[in-house]
Structure 1
């Protein structure tokens, strides 16, 4: 059963409709929110992890039957499935063995390690370009369990080295794509890249190399300067001149048009800058995470069904954007200094999760959620996405870790 705990003492300055003045009061319509910890979630992942060949990885689902489409290891999303297996190991510990008894923490860790093995070849080079942080997820999780695991240490450091090699001191960023859609000599940077820099901080700690942290901060600072509009919204892509560092163009590849705001990109900004503030304590990153969150929440409909693009006239949702934003908001709430803001971010994350469950819970699908949009609506709309599921599980775990839910 999902509970909000002791929030009256945490947020005495704000009356919150969803959070009542009690030490353990059930949320309204808690049956829906209970799906955050439904036994269907581990059952789905266990069914795939224990029967499929861990050399190909779930990516997105078919639209009609919700069956996973599998991809080769050398793809940017491969870290999410084994990463989720580690999150389920964490959940077993957080929930004190809740769920199927035979699937204890060690069992999930064994599955996570098995599915990570097929990714080790990627540490020597891969096609994921800037997305080395996503590839590193299962190895980062392994280090939380066993900080001395030499295989995980090497993988994290190798992925960090690949990412750091994409940095230009002249431009002040790491390069996202190896080529721009407009010209071969351009230096494109996408807002998604903000999700990769915790990897550099972790590797910096492992190697005692402060340059890795400096790269992350330079990229974050340059992105604040050039990738945000005055209202706190983001361009998905900013392309720089690789010889001068000047901005050449700002546009979208996955959103509606060049003046619109792609919802998942805005969610990446929330999560990425909340992470950067957690890692550095730099107030500029806190302010940027707040601005990103304010825009996202003020443009999300009252039913909390997040659109694919906030400015698109099309009736098309993206539940992966909702999951990323909810997870990011909970991280932001955890590090937030202002109690009123902390309550707002927490309440908003819960509302997003509830709206997403009500809209897209998919009991018969391989994925947890339906109605995600991977790219422009001509490609992979109304589908399940492995990263949407990952951040959905991450958000629920974060509620438990913050003492806001029990499972």
Structure 2
């Protein structure tokens, strides 16, 4: 098992020599063409895509006070980043649109959201476009104000007795519910602290991460989705799931949020406890993949009956989290482990879920299996798919054309099918880069 091999370094030394071919779809011209078409179809007044239907892959649109609303404007910024990284050519179709202009226009629909709109702790996700804007224009006063506003909202949800920011509101105010997803929202606190010098925001973020590290993570590195606290005493009263298979199972997207969240916490603080935690969560994720290498909706859900669905969004989030983790490692073997694993996740899910006929980039997403919402495209799955490609270019792991990179390795092969991915190992085309 991976976690046992990691203790001896055997797996690390082996995986450093192995890897799947990077899927050429990761830089396909279909990506900007599809995204531009979706920008052109945004309703007026503004609504945002969250997931598709299950038959034609048509986007379903939701009002701004939905937790996913920041992802599509952020996708526009991601393609602006890709255009700056890769340039515009007829082959890559990145000149199809003014990505920055589209992203800014779509992001305007998020500016008037406030705490009473029901977005709660998800102000962190909503803030993504404005964080991206400051990378383009650090003097943008509108983005600065939005980030500080969202951080203030999140900080107001912090309870020092519990040591966390509240995730979901409840009828009983003493029932203080925290979900693993909330690790992703902490970045807005750091962003605002950087802008304002308010160190209290950093303290809230680290306290939340520390409490979550203590109570959300099992001994084997898996995670609970929801932990309920008593807000009067701070005591844990229940650990459960809301979107996974069972209270004692591991919902894969929650595990992916945790990988990314703790890797980012280490990046922000240099606290090695966060690095250790990110490694533990990543190890469990990779160790518990099924034989076909496809990320399931829940790692512990039974295979049959009915068939256990995949979650393409969990795969792309995890891949991006692994790439972030790789940038925090100081030794070449560990970096190679996480980058090769990210590459394999992307190859596997592309082979299963890439669908040229859908409006989304990827199919086979599971939004919420208990609610019957599965077999869809998902906006955040697509966002992290694009971001993963950008990150690999930025890290020097690939060029802007996967087919060019793959051809540099005599051992490179086409992306494995969903049914044979676990046995499709080959020399990594990136081994010499570390």
TM-score normalised per structure 1: 0.91
1:397 alignment partner in structure 2: 390
- Give yes or no for contact 1:123–1:155 (8 Å, CA) kept in 2: no
1:168 has 2:156 as partner: no
1:335 has 2:364 as partner: no
Displacement after TM superposition at 1:179 (Å):
1.3
- Give yes or no for contact 2:16–2:333 (8 Å, CA) kept in 1: no
Distance 2:115 2:213 in 1: 31
- Give yes or no for contact 1:13–1:339 (8 Å, CA) kept in 2: no
Distance 1:15 1:347 in 2: 7
Task: Structure 2 unaligned segments of length 5 or more: list them.
Answer: 1-11, 401-434
2:29 alignment partner in structure 1: 39
Distance 2:233 2:370 in 1: 35
Distance 1:184 1:153 in 2: 32
TM-score normalised per structure 2: 0.85
SS of aligned partner of 1:243: coil
Displacement after TM superposition at 1:100 (Å):
2.7
- State the aligned residue count: 382
- Give yes or no for contact 2:173–2:231 (8 Å, CA) kept in 1: no
SS of aligned partner of 1:342: helix
Task: Structure 1 unaligned segments of length 5 or more: list them.
Answer: 1-11, 20-26
- Give yes or no for contact 2:193–2:202 (8 Å, CA) kept in 1: yes
1:271 has 2:247 as partner: no
1:217 alignment partner in structure 2: 206
RMSD between aligned alpha carbons? 1.6
- Give yes or no for contact 1:140–1:156 (8 Å, CA) kept in 2: yes
1:16 alignment partner in structure 2: 16
2:429 alignment partner in structure 1: none
Which one of the candidate residues 280, 284, 289 is aligned to 2:273?
284
Distance 1:399 1:312 in 2: 32
Q: Select the structure with the greater relative contact order (CA < 8 A; seq sep ≥ 6).
A: 2
Which one of the candidate residues 133, 140, 153 is aligned to 1:149?
140
Q: Deviations over 1:13-63 (max 9, x none)?
A: 7673446xxxxxxx64x5xx1100001011011011123236010011000
Change (3 A) 1:402 1:229: same
2:422 alignment partner in structure 1: none
1:345 has 2:335 as partner: no
Distance 1:378 1:101 in 2: 37
Q: Identify the range of structure 1 (303-312 vs 95-104) with the bigger mean alpha-carbon deviation.
A: 95-104
1:295 alignment partner in structure 2: 284
SS of aligned partner of 1:373: strand
Distance 1:319 1:100 in 2: 24
1:5 alignment partner in structure 2: none
Distance 1:222 1:339 in 2: 31
1:202 has 2:174 as partner: no
2:119 alignment partner in structure 1: 128
Displacement after TM superposition at 1:96 (Å):
2.0
